[in-house]
Chains A and B, each alone.
Chain A
Amino acid sequence: MARETLLNIVLFALLPVTALAAFMLDEPFVITLVTKAAILALAGVGLNIALGLGGLVSFGHAAFFGLGGYAMGVLASHAQSYTPIMESPFLIEGTKSMLVIWGVAIVTGGLAALAIGALSLRTTGVYFIMITLAFGQMLYYFAISWPAYGGEDGLSIYIRNEFPGLNTLDPIQFFAIAFGVLAIVLFIASRLAKSPFGLALSAARQNAERVETVGITPFRLRLVAFVISGAITALAGALFADLNRFVSPTMFSWHTSGEIMVFVILGGVGRLFGPVAGAALYILLEHVLGGLSDFWHIYLGLLLLLVVLFARGGLIGTLAGREVAHD
């Protein structure tokens, strides 16, 4: 356990240290990369609650990531053009406030996860993987064919949304926001894993029948986990959209679902800091390999293949040993 704790501290410090170093050296692009890693890690932390803790292999988390993105896109675009979202039966205006947007993203993602989860959790195994994938694709095609918010072309937001007391367009300040959110969510996730709910959820993953015998319904545990997971991933989606100042249906595509899953697996399934390690490694690879070759996905594919076949605990499992994931 100690080695993993140490590793977690190092990983956690890695992001702000890199960002600060880049700030000192006046390398705003590197700060943006680190910010991207922090936001993608957040999406991974969301998925990890369903996947690692609950054992729910969701191949449709892009749905929540995209919904978060579009929550930001829709609200900010209306604020940008000074047109209300709807006038009847009551007036809803757009907003440029990050905090409001986050709230809307979390609620939208959570509600969508409630609906998708309530249907999908009736199935298990491969059917669950496929039906979550199908729901993701459903939203993807909806986003493409719905013309009001850019359709296939997506939606550009010209100015980053506002956060009280900070200049969000300054890379280091926006990084601080993203990292702060990640830190809070990591704290919540760590408490969740140790809470009675988290323990019951883990137990339901390992042996659903035994959990049922002691009077707990696995379905309800899993649904709650799925909702929390979806809400966190939606929050990451809103931040990601704000980072790029752009949303497009790509956020909904199944490649996005696959990538979020890759962060979790590269880092280590069920490890608290797995997604942080995975997302940081992914961004590093994208940057380093992408600079070496246009075809860096080949190397990413090979690496992923090796991790799945030979390094089963991911990065953290390899470095810290199999102390936690021994089920």
Chain B
Amino acid sequence: MSLLLLIEQVLNGLQFGVMLFLMAAGLTLIFGVMGLINLAHGSLYMVGAFAAAAVAGFTGSFVLALIAALAAAAAAGALIELLVIRRLYDRDHLDQVLATFALILIFSEGTRYIFGSFPLFLDIPAALSGPILLPGGIYYPLYRLVIIGAGLLVAAGLFLLIARTRIGVQIRAGEADREMIAALGVDISKLYTLVFALGAALAGLAGALVGAIQSVQVGMGEPVLILAFVVIVIGGIGSIKGALVGSILVGLTDTLGGVLLPPLFATFMEPSSANAVGSAVASMAIYILMAGVLLFKPSGLFGGT
């Protein structure tokens, strides 16, 4: 295993982690403020990717595509919040899981109805395509670096929003005591719609950014959704800091596990079976990580009591 390959994989892991953060941040925010598990978050990711692919197909502009992804996902988020989700805040988690599972069915089949079963493709803009030479002689795709940068920028913006702005204060107050801030004159239902739309927009952005590397297809949100759940469970549900740490951990574990585990097993097994066992364990690595974290900290790394 060369050092260059390892650094490249670390960067891949970071890129994956940063994308997961965009998903997990929305999920954890929605859970923290409204106490809601939203399985349909992956559908919003898919909506973002499809909106981006469709707009890029019409206009050829990647910037317009990103704007469309943000707008479409936020609008879809606000819509389902107004129609369905707000009826679920007082329900138990089982009802929330089922209703949002139902939303996934509706979103997935609806998208299949509109766009068909074939995947769409979203091209990386010409200015960002191709590799770039990093110090140390590593060639790395520029677009992936841009994703890492954009993701970290969004993370910083989100921290500022929560820590420094009036809306952030209201969101934090909503997490702490929803009756109290309603009594203080904050329109709680408007705040909820806003938080939901914000989380949806982040998911849509992630969908559009990843859509340019992978194909855009129905069901693309589900694997990411489950990973995002793993992330927030590891980080502690409701904690944005936890979501960031969890995403990077999961991103790195998943990417490095796939690269490092098969050779590791090869040191004490036959090469053919080592490959099979190594890749099987690697595919389970993040779930093993999660089980391990929960064993020692049942409410996640940064979870409250």
Contact = CB atoms under 8 A, between A and B. Distances in A.
Interface of A: 51, 57, 59, 119, 122-123, 125-127, 129-131, 133-135, 137-138, 141-142, 144-148, 254, 258, 261-262, 265, 269, 295-298, 300-302, 304-305, 308-309, 312
Nearest to B223: A137
A133 B237 contact: no
A251 B105 CA distance: 18
B295 interface: yes
Contacts of B283: 141-142, 144-145
A129 B226 CA distance: 12
B102 interface: yes
Given A57-B97, A141-B284, A308 B102 contact: yes
A147 B287 CA distance: 20
Contacts of A127: 233, 237, 294, 298-300
Interface of B: 31, 37, 84, 87, 93-95, 97-99, 101-106, 108-110, 112-113, 222, 226, 229-230, 232-233, 237, 276, 279-280, 282-284, 287-288, 290-291, 294-295, 298-300
A269 B94 contact: yes
Nearest to B299: A127
Nearest to A57: B94
Given A147-B276, A305-B103, A298 B113 contact: yes
Contacts of A297: 105-106, 108-109
B229 to A, nearest CB: 5
A302 B222 CA distance: 19
B98 A126 contact: no
B107 to A, nearest CB: 8
Given A129-B93, A134-B233, A295-B109, 10 more contacts: A123-B298, A129-B37, A135-B291, A138-B287, A138-B288, A295-B112, A297-B109, A301-B103, A301-B106, A304-B105
The secondary-structure label for the interface of chain A is: helix
B109 to A, nearest CB: 4
B35 to A, nearest CB: 9
B98 A304 contact: yes
B230 A138 contact: no
A138 B284 contact: yes
A126 B84 contact: no
Contacts of A309: 84, 87, 99
A57 B287 CA distance: 19
Given A127-B299, A134-B230, A304 B110 contact: no
Nearest to A269: B94
A136 B112 CA distance: 26
A134 B290 contact: yes
